[in-house]
Structure 1
């Protein structure tokens, strides 16, 4: 169960690094929620615009990598993770560190990222 969820996290980031939005969407459950003062809800795949990666690359981004994937709550249908990931340049120097709580849920026998709450 836990390894299946971690595999989803890794597939998400592999797809992210390849700018593969369809691959990223395949790791998400919808509605997909970004809570906060201006909560964003994606009701279906295809919501991330290609310009997102253009903006990252303009800041020197080449890839992202996890520094932490820590399960902090687990049940048979939901796992909360404390994740940290670095956004890096091609020389592996770090642009910034992102900290978040991501919640994965199991729906129809498939694990997917349901909620991403970043700092």
Structure 2
């Protein structure tokens, strides 16, 4: 059930994921932060990490865990689990690739995208990626 101004929560959530992936692949730290809501939570490798405010999330940590020779990531699957007017849960799979076109790996995750102050952003992620 959509409310005024929120006609397509799933479409909005998918657009945020596209913007996130594009910024990540450009190495645009500010752009990645712009796709998040804060505090932003990531659960992976048995660790919960919370970035409290925009600018706290840095790409150096991502690059350290992305895999040797990482050049880009791609969405393989994005399947809605639940969608409401202000929150969308998505089961996703993404892949990481080297510059020579070889695959580093494919990873299953859950992304939670929320609408706050009329803006959609990624609030939390739970991933099987390192």
Q: TM-score, normalised by structure 2?
A: 0.83
Residue 27 of structure 1 corresponds to 35
Cα displacement (A) at 1:5: 1.0
Residues 13 and 64, structure 1, Cα contact 8 Å, conserved in 2: yes
**Which aligned runs of 4 or more in structure 1 are off by greater than 4 angstroms?**
none
1:32, 1:58 → 2: CA distance? 23
Cα displacement (A) at 1:60: 1.0
Residue 48 of structure 1 corresponds to 57
Single out whichever of 86-95 and 20-29 deviates more from structure 2: 86-95
2:90, 2:66 → 1: CA distance? 27
SS in 1 for 2:24: helix
Q: TM-score, normalised by structure 1?
A: 0.90
Kindly tell me the number of residue pairs found equivalent between the two proteins. Answer: 119
Q: What value does the CA root-mean-square deviation take over the aligned residues?
A: 1.8
Q: What pairs up with 1:71-86 in 2 under 5 angstroms?
A: 71-86=80-95
Residue 97 of structure 1 corresponds to 106
Q: Which runs of 5+ in 2 are unaligned?
A: 1-7
Residues 88 and 112, structure 2, Cα contact 8 Å, conserved in 1: yes
Residue 121 of structure 2 corresponds to 112
Distance change (3 Å), C-alpha of 1:4 and 1:21: same
Q: Which runs of 5+ in 1 are unaligned?
A: none
